[in-house]
Structure 1
């Protein structure tokens, strides 16, 4: 059973994902969660405090879905990267290509004004880069990727392509954009099965 605090965090995460952090008002959170201000302040000191919990929740979900379930598994690097791309596409398909990447959206929105939240999101993206770089390093060792490539730069580029694809997909409201760009990633990084 989910606690009331966890339910509030979950409901707030949905609102922030669809409306953005700035546009999500405390009244929206109260209505969505079915609570009053007193109960809200029992669990959180402010909207900022709740936002911190939401960021932790979103990062925890992504770490579970992308890191634990895929990138940290002891399977072939090409398979890990393909499964990651498949999972990211499935997540956006489930969301009907409408709201984009929750952490990517937050990264754009909070980068200037919320340094604590920005640092948490940046830390997640850095860990993601490192896990992709590890897979690319393994592909180089197996001679399945050009050994002259700078895998640190290429891991950043892969994430930039993914997040850019999700942004374009969101803007066009068309999941095919993400599918097309993940196809380009698979070709560029030699991930297509032989």
Structure 2
């Protein structure tokens, strides 16, 4: 394969599908060079090691998730509950459209990487805390729509955990109907918290 001059983003974009499918630990450096079309020199110009690539992929996927799911959902309605429902819809559709329902890359990397290096645990914890905080802020803005005993932070934690579970089970079963049912369960969790 002819090695082309690749940018950092080119390399991340070209390897993300492989890492999503089989994990970073199981993907060899030679395979990363091959799928990226980058020479070893070009690769190491941007990434000091496979671990360094792993951290870059975490940030890259978070940027994609933010720009393709979270930000559009937050802009979709003035009603924060509708925003959260839109976020769940976008995540569900993303799962359905992925080949073989690949699950959440960030969630997959938790399983793949946190025991490899404490820095991965810290990095992924920060990312998931940002995501949880985004949900919690929407719920806080919707406090007048929630039952009086609902803690927005705790509900955000439950919603994110249930969402990750829905995506993980989607990856396991590779069944679109099951993904729809699991996301319906997450939406029900939110709706049960609303003041009737």
Coarse TM-score class (shorter-chain normalised)? 0.7 to 0.9
What is the deviation of 1:79? 1.1
Figure out how many residues of one structure are paired with residues of the other and give that number. Answer: 190
List alignment gaps of at least 5 residues for structure 2: none
Residues 79-118 of structure 1 deviation map (CA, whole Å, 9 limit, x = unaligned): 1011101100111111034321000000122122222222
| 1:75 match: secondary structure | coil
> 2:6, 2:37 within 8 Å by CA — same for their partners in 1?
no
Question: Would you say 1:90 and 2:84 are equivalent positions?
Answer: no
CA distance in 2, matches of 1:70, 1:108: 27
3-state SS in 2 of match to 1:189: helix
Of 84-93 and 3-12, the range deviating more from structure 2:
3-12
Residue 20 of structure 1 corresponds to: 23
Q: Distance in 1 between matches of 2:153 and 2:17?
A: 33
Relative to structure 1, the CA distance from residue 183 to residue 177 in structure 2 (aligned partners, 3 Å threshold; closer, same or farther) is same
Contact (CA 8 Å) 2:159, 2:189: kept in 1 or not?
no
CA shift for structure 1 position 164? 0.6
1:121-136 counterparts in 2 under 5 A?
121-136=124-139
Uncovered stretches (5+) of structure 1, i.e. residues with no partner: none
Cα 1:21/1:15, change in 2 over 3 Å: same
Pairs within 5 Å for 1:140-179: 140-141=143-144, 144-179=145-180
1:108-143 Cα shifts (integer Å, max 9, x gaps): 2212222222222211211111121122223322xx
Query: Where do 4+ consecutive residues of structure 1 move more than 4 Å?
Result: none
Assess if the C-alpha contact under 8 Å between 1:70 and 1:84 holds in 2: yes
* SS of equivalent residue, structure 1 residue 112: coil
Contact kept in structure 2, 1:133 and 1:151, CA below 8 Å: yes
Compare 167-176 and 64-73 and name the one that shifted more.
64-73
Matched, 1:4 2:7: yes
Q: Give the TM-score normalised by structure 1.
A: 0.88
Alignment of 1:173-192 (within 5 A): 173-190=174-191
**Structure 2 counterpart SS, 1:184:** helix
- SS of alignment partner, residue 191 of structure 2: coil
How big is the alpha-carbon RMSD for the aligned residues of Structure 1 and Structure 2? 2.2
User: In structure 2, the residue corresponding to 1:190 is in which secondary structure?
Assistant: helix
Measured in 1, the distance between the counterparts of 2:134 and 2:47 equals 33
Corresponding residue SS for 2:30: helix
